[in-house]
Structure 1
């Protein structure tokens, strides 16, 4: 088999369209071009819509039980943020169809203000990725992807769930496609009184209600054999009430709205592809210090994004990828100390991929960002993957990444600091993959060095301000064991993950707050004919909540287990029942905000 034919098969196996036959590659349009290529060199965990249904409360729950990411949640459905490999929330990039959607004000994504439903897959990539995905991609990135199929006809589904604490969750999806046109739309509405109790902690989740609504609409049209015009849109509206500890406590809430629209023109030929994207994203929030009174503060952010991704095979062995991007970020604050602010951001990145053989490949990348009024570092990345044996594959990645200061960090008054430096990190990690029959084992050691860490600290003047405080070293191990076997009418799947995370302030030599040293998660799925059952488990180790490692204030280890059963009739109707926290464990992910004890849900799905 010649090298060119090998590359055709290699790229096709990862869903790429380069060097493939146009009849085959046109069946699915994928918006995130870089993620397809990243899978050639990096380990990526993928959650399908069926996986997400197991943890249908919110995105926090899905990530907590099905990924190595540690989730800090101020009670069920409240403010929530991720910790990738011992980093904080601002070191995680949320990427929607290839576009970074972290808040320009906060520099992060509030997980419970990001829709759980409406995506074709949710992908979790650990490690640095600033060359491809920009600011905040230091600890890792979470990808919310939509795909569009062609020539599939009409499909539809409706999911409805009723759960404890007066929780209702509904999701509907429909799609239609022929040879030239593809359309997909979905809508989700979730609402919960969320008034759970934890008697052991003398805690009632008063004023904990929430609701959110999201709509996703996508369309794609083939204007020629090798050219496609596509459009993807998302609308989100949500409200979170913040829990109070006493009956007559002051009740507050936080409302948020997001709008995202992405237009893409793609050219895909045998050895060349180009994706030109224009996007508009809007993120608004309002904080109510008293739910019965007008808002106390808020902001509206508008982002205009233009991105071009050019990919070309110089020869069957050499592939050149050039990415250019320009953004205009605008913000308007209310009671924030700033009114109208604007920032221009540009970047150019180049990646060279060398396919030595079908079993050995390398990638080198370089990038320069141009952020208005902020000094930005030169970024780089080096990756390699070697399929050494049929049962052993090894990959290595080395990169420099960064995060530039947010609008709040620069302009919030009082406290904004215009002298802040960008955070930078040096990342090194490896992936060792072993395959033995139906078993697969992955071991991923890593090391990170983060400089110019930005923290909000109290000042002598009575307010808090962001400063470049300390440097951090993070190191550890991510591991995963999976088993997958199919019998005549049944299947058995098992997946177990374990992470060891040390994240140390170099000045004090103390572990960072809310970074558990040990975390383990796993699930077992079994299906026979029309019946399916699953069990999930989560162990979280000792977790410090203060900078001085005060054990009295730390979160103790806990173990939580969930289980579910479902039956599918006539291939169209599914009825299921779930029990969350079977062990009735009393636990917290953030101090003073216990999570629910044992709770239940029933759900039904109709496919048409």
Structure 2
């Protein structure tokens, strides 16, 4: 059966989009449907495998640093707790997906970015702004979706080895291939870092211990992905991603100083077309976030969570410029812990709908969703976006959306701490943007304001309650240009995430820098490529009260990279991080890497 829905979607999305000679990059996270990255009405960033390789990134922190609207806090190096903040919202206000499957801990409410294996990633889509009306809870600040490698084409082996500072030894090996209808990819990766002292704390500050040792990190990951396109149009696909980690940190006999973790995502999907303009998708998946803590080798505690999900989505094209989407989501969260929670499971059922259309120079996206949660009942969210093409090269956008964040199991049921009467945190966001393409390259500028109510804070007895409100305002800029054969990539983030009620009213939310700037330049000299990046962040506070002793100074990092392709299959890379040996912190008392030198040898067979 001839299938034309994707073409209709792209036709509607790229009406009056920026003209260029190359095919438009296609993303799916902003609308849950295929859409041109240039034409989406959301503020987005796409990070490809080629960009990850050229960054010579070894962690998600390396990959995400410098993304517009995004700041990071890390507790002492590789494998240590890493918080990602989008548009100044909390770390648990960011929804994280892997191949369409929601990941993260049901107890803490955040994803373990530090344990996501970069070697297994094919691309990352980052959508800024509320997306709860499409995905449900957590998408207040935005959505980060990670896509693992798929494979395809001729049988292609690959391998890499990295060695460098802080006792770093990483290796990976993979095999991918496929035929006219099927594809597969398999890859294993191992990362070993001897590390440095994670925390310079004392018995009364920081990590509340004094352990001046090297805190290492070791992880082994496996990625499997395969699919088949049947003659009747049915497309079946399955993925497995698993990472086993061992992490050392500075801690006590109460919190432990060693941890063994498992991050696992298993999923599968079926896509078929009951009618020519109707595409149906069924997706099922399960994610695990498991952690067992030890103190000097002796068992301390266990926190294992699992999220099972099921999605049914229908996309119906109406002509060449309109697309209707309707579907249902189901999610079950479970906790298996050495700590006895009052409840260890809850369900969430939801229905959602969306309209996308183009009318000449005008583009519209409208979506709504109704969630019914076993713990807090029903909640409805919505979003409306509008775009107007001022010319073939410039477009104005505006949007408004609501979102919510369900309380975590820790906030609800942790013994002696949680409160089962907590309500979801609510948000309202408005945004305007201007984007264009000129002779030198493409650019975008977005301004936003998000108001959060029922923000979960603490009462006088340090119990969680819905007492706080916050207003997040900011401006994001992106520029990709080419000048005198030099590639230039610049991002700018200016944000003001402030509490607007409670005893800390008027104070900044903690661990979020108010300014961030990244400037990257690169140039190809035949088989040699050189690049340099400058990344700087402004001040931040480590506490909600913004006390003077908790103020963290701004900092700037200068990195240099080079690579030499000495044959079509072999690539040698070198990276010098923090060239000026800057000492800095993104969380008070937790050290960050100083100057470091790394070399990578890559092999990729040509198809």
Q: Please point out which of 283, 289, 296 is paired with 1:291.
A: 296
Q: 1:35 to 1:527 in 2, by over 3 A?
A: farther
In structure 2, the residue matched to 1:509 is 506
In structure 2, the residue matched to 1:21 is none
In structure 2, the residue matched to 1:560 is 557
Distance in 2, matches of 1:5 and 1:206, equals 55
In structure 2, the residue matched to 1:453 is 455
State the Cα distance separating 1:104 from its structure 2 match: 1.2
Q: How does 1:464-543 map to 2 (within 5 A)?
A: 464-484=462-482, 491-507=485-501, 508-543=505-540
Of the structure 1 ranges 566-575 and 56-65, higher mean CA displacement relative to structure 2 is found in 56-65
String of CA shifts for 1:318-337, please: whole Å, max 9, x gaps. 32101211122222211x23
In structure 1, the residue matched to 2:315 is 311
Of the structure 1 ranges 128-137 and 560-569, higher mean CA displacement relative to structure 2 is found in 128-137
Q: 1:503 to 1:212 in 2, by over 3 A?
A: same
SS class of match (2:32)? helix
In structure 1, the residue matched to 2:52 is 52
Q: 1:553 to 1:303 in 2, by over 3 A?
A: closer
In structure 1, the residue matched to 2:577 is 580
By relative contact order (CA 8 Å, sep 6+), the higher-ranking structure is 2
State the Cα distance separating 1:91 from its structure 2 match: 0.6
Tell me if the contact between 2:105 and 2:289 (Cα under 8 Å) persists in the aligned partners. Answer: yes
In structure 1, the residue matched to 2:165 is 164
Distance in 1, matches of 2:9 and 2:327, equals 23
Distance in 2, matches of 1:286 and 1:456, equals 27
Tell me if the contact between 2:198 and 2:250 (Cα under 8 Å) persists in the aligned partners. Answer: no
Tell me if the contact between 1:366 and 1:379 (Cα under 8 Å) persists in the aligned partners. Answer: yes
Q: 1:477 to 1:375 in 2, by over 3 A?
A: same
Distance in 2, matches of 1:607 and 1:32, equals 32
Distance in 1, matches of 2:10 and 2:416, equals 58
Of the structure 1 ranges 58-67 and 472-481, higher mean CA displacement relative to structure 2 is found in 58-67
Q: How does 1:142-541 map to 2 (within 5 A)?
A: 142-146=144-148, 148=150, 150=152, 152-195=153-196, 206-243=213-250, 252-268=257-273, 270-288=276-294, 290-294=295-299, 296-334=300-338, 336-338=339-341, 341-357=344-360, 359-455=361-457, 459=461, 464-484=462-482, 491-507=485-501, 508-541=505-538
Tell me if the contact between 2:199 and 2:590 (Cα under 8 Å) persists in the aligned partners. Answer: no
String of CA shifts for 1:230-261, please: whole Å, max 9, x gaps. 1111111112211369xx99961222112211
Distance in 1, matches of 2:453 and 2:346, equals 24
Distance in 2, matches of 1:253 and 1:286, equals 8
Normalising by structure 1, what TM-score?
0.89
Q: 1:131 to 1:330 in 2, by over 3 A?
A: same
Normalising by structure 2, what TM-score?
0.89
Distance in 1, matches of 2:264 and 2:30, equals 18
Q: How does 1:85-164 map to 2 (within 5 A)?
A: 85-146=87-148, 148=150, 150=152, 152-164=153-165
RMSD of aligned Cα (Å): 2.9
User: Structure 2: 5+ residue runs without aligned partners?
Assistant: 16-22, 203-209
In structure 2, the residue matched to 1:20 is none
In structure 1, the residue matched to 2:599 is 602
Count of aligned pairs: 578
Distance in 2, matches of 1:93 and 1:35, equals 17
SS class of match (2:320)? coil
Q: 1:204 to 1:494 in 2, by over 3 A?
A: farther
Distance in 2, matches of 1:262 and 1:123, equals 18
User: Structure 1: 5+ residue runs without aligned partners?
Assistant: 15-23
